[in-house]
């Protein structure tokens, strides 16, 4: 049952609910796993949507889905159309979407009601309805197995507990399970970027900032626990993955080495592209401006989707990404030139020390 | 000197000024050509910009370049920075840009002054400065050669004359040249989408709607004259390409066959994605809505960049693109499912006849 953390290829591909859409074979080649015991039905809360549409006399509805759920979009439209007045126009966003930080502002503006599926609210608004899509997978069986990787409650009574939105419906159950095993479960709602207590995002692990040396992450994939382990380097992060039925320990060493390599490579850079991301929840203008003001060879570039192709057009030696940190850490190797986080830039320029290196996280909303 | 129209691979790659940035060898493999006689200096009108920045007390400047000129962006920033007050912040748009229809609205909103290079104004505004970037290439030598492909002035006295923004600085010279050869040159400014008399865009050939059976196109590449030949099927379009020093006749047959094939393939489609493009100058909401209202299996999808990857996420049988028609006609084969223009959709559904097939064009601004 115990496995090592598998080599990661492209984390963005297995992000969020998307991973639950992929075939298990695609992800777990060669790994020992339990038999799958869950179906894949989501509750899209259509009744609630229909009620709101009728009550508010909505004329235009915009729907947004994460990548892996886009193909379900047309079915949702059909089901909604059958239940709302004929004149209601329903549009689906075709823009890539990787989180609640990533709202399609064009469609939002065109819509009376905007429905964002698959993530929980980063900031509430009457016009935007978030439908998180909770998983129906059982969590206790894999947590039972994960106990083998934990220090016992006698030695380490405190344990942190975190999960993603998809499994938040089982959070009480998870907590109770650990308490029954004798642990004191330490949980918190990290900051205002998060909707729930114990919730983590790819860019925010403040909910694990608790008085415990070990943290259990219950959820699918390695994307979140690796971020968690990078932010909380002093904590042992045990992964109980009920989607793939795998228990493992988050090992961020490969990523940390990649960060060192990127910083090292960038040290010979003369010209820099400083990326300001225009996505609603990914803008850090001040961080970008600080670098621009410091370095006459740093050029401010504004972008929504940050892709290798788009940066290739600029003949620059290195980039700093002030947008989603996971693009930097996880997709970094796909870019032709080194890409750093803002803090890594300052390490590269010698203002900060390599020892101070920390994982780039996002706080607050917009 | 005479050559056939070469096989086109990906027109978007050789679009607009970009083509002038590519090495000649990349484009003209094997074709007979004259020796190049021009340099590649553009006038970025920096003095004018500096004056405006100072006069208006501008604090934030946004710059936008077409793909092929993005790499010049940082030099422009450096030159500007040396001439304006230190506190002026200059940002470059990293978004793909294919025309004056394609302004980076995010950066525009963040800027006091927005400078769009490489295209002429589609709609004027105090905040937006268009710097068209005129080519310094000589046009007369290649026009001289192109005469061989024209019917003589005795037989066909009338001739249409069109060009792109890049060569508009030589438009008077072109006209004079043809008049000296005995032709009556028929020119017009097509409609309000165009800035100049005789100007064509990838999506608008109204300037060639003149009383002449032959039209001379003076400009680089095949992108524009092929569109022209598709719109004005009854006219002979002679290409005098002073960038590649090639004379040829625009032959849209390959494209027309591709359109037939796409329509044919789409006839078995049950589910349709109807794309509404959110780019400022590419929105045709009514055309999209008309189809949505007609077909219960047509789903409205909003997008800025329309790419094969983004559409792949939707499991749909065919698409209709109400945005840039050149994505449909030129990039169509790159998409996994047939993509039609709005008119082609109505042909596919039997409302319109195949004989009525015409090239999709854009009129008006926003």
The residues spanned by each domain of chain B are 14-39+136-249, 46-131, 253-356
Distance CA A302, CA A278 (A): 7
Segment A158-196, tens digit of pLDDT: 999 999 999 999 999 999 999 999 999 999 999 999 999
Which residue in B has a C-alpha nearest to residue A279's C-alpha? B106
Instruction: Tell me what pLDDT residue A32 has.
Output: 34
Q: Among candidates B134, B117, B133, B114, which has minimal Cα distance to B125?
A: B114
Asked if the Cβ–Cβ distance from A77 to B107 is below 8 Å, we say no
Best B271, B299, B321 residue to mutate vs chain A (most A CBs within 10 Å): B299
Among candidates B271, B302, B310 on the partner chain, residue whose Cβ is nearest the Cβ of A96: B310
Distance CA B315, CA B294 (A): 20
Distance CA B312, CA B337 (A): 9
Contacts of A10 in chain B (CB under 8 A): none
Q: Among candidates B205, B201, B202, B197, which has minimal Cα distance to B174?
A: B197
Instruction: Tell me what pLDDT residue A311 has.
Output: 97
Contacts of A110 in chain B (CB under 8 A): 302
Q: Which CATH number fits domain A46-131: 3.40.190.10, 3.40.50.11840, 1.20.1050.10, 3.40.50.300?
A: 3.40.50.11840
Helical (H) or strand (E) element with A116: strand A113-117
CA angle A22, A23, A29 (to 5 degrees): 115
A-B Cβ pairs (cutoff 8 Å, strict): 112
Radius of gyration (C-alpha) of chain A in whole angstroms: 21
Contacts of A90 in chain B (CB under 8 A): 300
Average pLDDT, chain B: 90
Cβ B161 vs Cβ B239: under 8 Å: no
What are the helix (H) ranges across chain A? 18-21, 24-27, 46-56, 73-81, 105-110, 140-146, 171-180, 223-231, 253-266, 285-294, 308-312, 325-331, 342-348
Inform me whether the pLDDT recorded for A21 exceeds 80: no
CATH of the domain spanning B14-39+136-249: 3.40.50.11850
Asked if the Cβ–Cβ distance from A91 to B300 is below 8 Å, we say yes
Among candidates A71, A96, A299 on the partner chain, residue whose Cβ is nearest the Cβ of B74: A299
Among candidates B90, B94, B271 on the partner chain, residue whose Cβ is nearest the Cβ of A303: B94
Distance CA B247, CA B240 (A): 5
Distance CA B250, CA B246 (A): 12
Instruction: Tell me what pLDDT residue A19 has.
Output: 39
Task: Tell me the percentage of chain A whose pLDDT exceeds 90.
Answer: 86
Among candidates A73, A106, A302 on the partner chain, residue whose Cβ is nearest the Cβ of B91: A302
Contacts of B67 in chain A (CB under 8 A): 313
Contacts of B302 in chain A (CB under 8 A): 62, 91-95, 104, 106-107, 110
Q: From residue A172, give the alpha-carbon distance in Å to each of A17, A167, A177, B205, B227.
A: 21, 10, 9, 65, 63
**Which carries the bigger pLDDT value, residue A136 or residue A348?**
A348
Segment A108-153, tens digit of pLDDT: 999 999 999 999 999 999 999 999 999 989 999 999 999 999 999 9
Tokens 């100007």, located at residue: B199
Asked if the Cβ–Cβ distance from A301 to B91 is below 8 Å, we say yes
Q: Which CATH number fits domain B253-356: 3.40.50.300, 3.40.50.850, 3.20.20.450, 3.40.50.11860?
A: 3.40.50.11860
Phi, psi of B67 (to 5 degrees): -50, -50
Distance CA B140, CA A289 (A): 48
Inform me whether the pLDDT recorded for A300 exceeds 80: yes
Asked if the Cβ–Cβ distance from B89 to A289 is below 8 Å, we say yes
C-alpha count within 13 angstroms, C-beta hemisphere, residue A266: 31
Taking the alpha carbons of A175, A176, A180, A186 in that order, is the dihedral positive or negative? positive
Distance CA A221, CA A200 (A): 13
Cβ B5 vs Cβ B103: under 8 Å: no
- For A176, residues 6+ apart whose C-beta sits below 8 A from its C-beta are none
Segment B15-69, tens digit of pLDDT: 433 334 433 333 333 333 444 444 567 899 999 999 999 999 999 999 999 998 9
Instruction: Tell me what pLDDT residue B89 has.
Output: 96
Asked if the Cβ–Cβ distance from A302 to B271 is below 8 Å, we say no
The complex scores an ipTM of 0.87
Is A253-356 in the same CATH topology as A14-39+136-249?
yes
Cβ B236 vs Cβ B214: under 8 Å: yes
Asked if the Cβ–Cβ distance from A94 to B314 is below 8 Å, we say yes
Instruction: Tell me what pLDDT residue B42 has.
Output: 82
Extract the tokens encoding B65.
Answer: 């370049």
Give the burial string for A169-178 (b: 16+ CB within 10 Å, else e): bbbeebbebb
Distance CA B60, CA B84 (A): 11
Q: Which residues of A touch B (CB under 8 A)?
A: 62, 67, 70-71, 73-74, 77-78, 81, 89-96, 104, 106-107, 110, 271, 273, 275-276, 278, 289, 292, 296, 299-306, 310-311, 313-316
Inform me whether the pLDDT recorded for A26 exceeds 80: no
Q: Chain B: give the shortest CA distance to residue A276, in Å.
A: 9
pLDDT in tens, chain B (366 residues): 333 333 323 333 334 333 344 333 333 333 334 444 445 678 999 999 999 999 999 999 999 999 989 999 999 999 999 999 999 999 999 999 999 999 999 999 999 999 999 999 999 999 999 999 999 899 999 999 999 999 999 999 999 999 999 999 999 999 999 999 999 999 999 999 999 999 999 999 999 999 999 999 999 999 999 999 999 999 999 999 999 999 999 999 988 999 999 999 999 999 999 999 999 999 999 999 999 999 999 999 999 999 999 999 999 999 999 999 999 999 999 999 999 999 999 999 999 999 999 999 999 999
Asked if the Cβ–Cβ distance from A74 to B299 is below 8 Å, we say yes
**Which carries the bigger pLDDT value, residue A255 or residue A108?**
A108
Among candidates B92, B96, B275 on the partner chain, residue whose Cβ is nearest the Cβ of A299: B92
Inform me whether the pLDDT recorded for A287 exceeds 80: yes
Distance CA B226, CA B58 (A): 42
Best A66, A72, A94, A110 residue to mutate vs chain B (most B CBs within 10 Å): A94
Taking the alpha carbons of B5, B8, B11, B16 in that order, is the dihedral positive or negative? negative
Extract the tokens encoding B27.
Answer: 């484009």
Q: Chain B: give the shortest CA distance to residue A313, in Å.
A: 6
Inform me whether the pLDDT recorded for A338 exceeds 50: yes
Q: How confident is the model at residue A18 (pLDDT cuts 50, 70, 90)?
A: very low
Inform me whether the pLDDT recorded for A11 exceeds 60: no
């Amino acid at each position: 049952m115990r496995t090592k953390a598998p080599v990661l290829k492209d984390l963005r591909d297995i992000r969020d609910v998307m991973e639950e859409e992929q075939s298990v074979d695609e992800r777990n080649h060669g790994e020992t796993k339990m038999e799958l015991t869950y179906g894949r039905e989501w509750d899209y809360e259509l009744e609630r949507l229909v009620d709101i549409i009728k009550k508010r006399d909505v004329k235009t509805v915009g729907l947004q889905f994460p990548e892996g759920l886009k193909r379900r979009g047309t079915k949702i439209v059909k089901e909604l159309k059958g239940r709302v007045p004929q004149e209601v126009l329903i549009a689906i966003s075709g823009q890539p979407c990787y989180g609640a930080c990533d709202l399609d502002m064009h469609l939002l503006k065109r819509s009376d009601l905007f429905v964002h599926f698959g993530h929980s609210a980063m900031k509430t608004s009457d016009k935007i309805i978030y439908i998180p899509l909770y998983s129906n997978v059982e969590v206790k069986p894999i947590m039972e197995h994960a106990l083998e990787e934990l220090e016992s409650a006698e030695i380490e009574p405190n344990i942190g507990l975190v999960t993603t939105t998809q499994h938040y419906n089982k959070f009480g159950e998870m907590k109770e399970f650990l308490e029954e095993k004798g642990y004191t479960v330490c949980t918190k709602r990290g900051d205002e970027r998060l909707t729930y207590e114990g919730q983590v995002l790819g860019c925010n692990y403040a909910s694990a900032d608790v008085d415990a040396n070990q943290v259990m992450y219950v959820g699918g994939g390695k994307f979140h626990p690796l971020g968690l382990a990078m932010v909380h380097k002093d904590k042992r992060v045990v992964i109980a993955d009920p989607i793939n039925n795998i228990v493992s320990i988050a090992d961020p060493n490969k990523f940390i080495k990649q960060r060192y390599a990127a910083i090292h490579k960038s040290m010979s850079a003369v010209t820099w592209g400083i990326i300001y991301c225009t996505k609603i929840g990914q803008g850090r203008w001040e961080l970008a401006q600080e670098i621009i003001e410091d370095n006459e060879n740093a050029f401010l570039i504004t972008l929504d989707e940050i892709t290798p192709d788009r940066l290739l057009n600029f003949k620059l030696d290195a980039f700093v990404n002030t947008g989603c940190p996971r693009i930097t850490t996880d997709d970094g190797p796909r870019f032709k030139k080194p890409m750093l986080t803002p803090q890594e830039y300052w390490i590269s320029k010698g203002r900060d020390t390599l020892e101070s290196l920390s994982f780039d996280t996002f706080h607050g909303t917009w």
